[in-house]
Structures are given as C-alpha cells and as structure tokens.
Amino acid sequence: MVIDAQLLWAVVLGVYVMAVLILTKIPYDRMIAHGMEPMRAVYYNRKIVHMLGAGVASLFVPLIFVDLIYPLVAGLLFSLLTWATHALGLRMFWFQIEENRNDFKFALAWLGSVTVLWWLLGNPWLAILPALFVAFGDGVTGIARNFVVRKRSKHPIGNVFMFLVCAPMGWVIGNLAEPGIPEWGLLAAVLATLVERYEIGVIDDNILIALVATLTLLAGAQIGPVF
C-alpha cells in the first residue's frame, strides 16, 4: 500500500502542533511556581503557541503541500478542536481562558486566509503570509507587551516589535509571487501592524490582521508590482 506523502506530513504536523499545545503546560507551571500571575502566564503561553505551534507549522505548508485540501482539512480540524475544548468545558487552561475564545478565532483566521489566498492566487507562500503575521507578528507583540507592561494591553511597544518581524517577511515572501510583489507584502505588514491595536466586537485582532493582509495581497496580485 502506497501512503500519500502529503497525508503523512499532515499527520506529522498535526502531532507536532498537539505536542506544542500540551507541552506548553510545562512553562506555565514554572512561571506560576516562580510567582507569576496566572493570567500573565497564560498570555505568554498563548504567544508561544502562536509562534511554535501555528507559526512553525505554517512555514512547512508551502514546502510539503501541493494540494490545498491538506491545509484546509488541518485548519478545519484545529478550528473544531479549539471550539470543542471551550464548548465542552475541556479548556487547556494554560493557554485558553474562559473570558474569550481568541484561540478559536486565531484558528478561523488561519483557515480563512490560507484557503482564500491559495484558492484565488495559487501561491502557497502568499497564502501563508497573513498567517505568519498573526503567528509571529502578533506573537512577539504580546511577549513584548507582557514583558514591558506586565499585563495584557495594546501598548504601542508591541506594534514596534510586530513591524520589525512582519516587514521583512512581507518583503521576502511577497517577492516569491509571479511576478514578485514585495511592496505589497510590505504594505500588508504595515497595515497588519496598524490594525492589531483594534478589536471590533467579536472580531478580534487575529481576524483583523488576517483579513487586512489577505485583502492587501489580493489587491497587489491584481494590480501587480509598484516599481
């Protein structure tokens, strides 16, 4: 029996992400043991999950998948998992909180942006760029704020670090389009950094970042290179 290599890789990445979700209880326990407030520890852990879980897995997507169906199904399963843990009272309390379901919204943002961009543009690198902004950009934003302000906030120091992370990703990955649109990738990074400071009702910063970056890249693909 021949095993589909893409399916095998999808399973491997799924196991890896689940391991990150479970093993982040270790740093949570250590932070609590050293006297950190539980909410701050949770906030750190959410950003660890952003980067080591979704961020690292996203980087592998264009390297190992040639068919959209695999990241699409993976995104659906991850969205279902994060929804179910809240709905069934099985929250992984070391990174999920009862007050909001931003981890579920993160999964939806990942699923929506990757699916739409891959389907419309046919470029898996451009497809993961908004997800990378949410994973690494918003991740470093939260860590910087938690370290400086010592609580969940929208302090601008976080946006400075987010731009420093997102700008080079936008330029480099934008250049992988045919033809290259690095300026649009950079613009997507700028706009994603700006909208991270806002939440509109149930639409949180994860969704706003992915939405704005996705629309910018779609516009860039239609208009083409600026220079």
pLDDT for 153 beyond 70: no
Calculate mean pLDDT across residues 199-226: 90
Cα–Cα distances in angstroms (integers) from residue 47 to residues 12, 39, 222, 226, in the given order: 22, 13, 33, 34
- Find the helix packing angle between 124-132 and 205-223, rounded to 10°: 150
Residue with tokens 């290179």: 225
Q: What is the mean pLDDT of the chain?
A: 91
Q: Confidence class of residue 125 from pLDDT cuts 50, 70 and 90?
A: very high
CA 125/CA 132 separation, integer angstroms? 10
Please state, for a pLDDT cut of 70, what percent of the chain lies above it: 97
Q: Confidence class of residue 84 from pLDDT cuts 50, 70 and 90?
A: very high
Ramachandran angles phi, psi of 106, nearest 5°: -60, -45
Tokens of 205: 């910063």
Whether a cis peptide bond, with omega within 30° of 0, leads into 130 is no
Structural domain harbouring 26: 5-223
CA 83/CA 139 separation, integer angstroms? 21
Q: Which tops the pLDDT comparison, 215 or 154?
A: 215
58 within 8 A of 132, measured Cβ to Cβ: yes
pLDDT for 30 beyond 70: yes
Count: domains in the chain: 1
Beta carbons within 10 angstroms of residue 201's beta carbon: 5
pLDDT for 149 beyond 80: no
Q: Return the pLDDT at 56.
A: 95
Calculate mean pLDDT across residues 98-120: 91
Q: Return the pLDDT at 40.
A: 87
Calculate mean pLDDT across residues 189-202: 89
188 within 8 A of 201, measured Cβ to Cβ: no
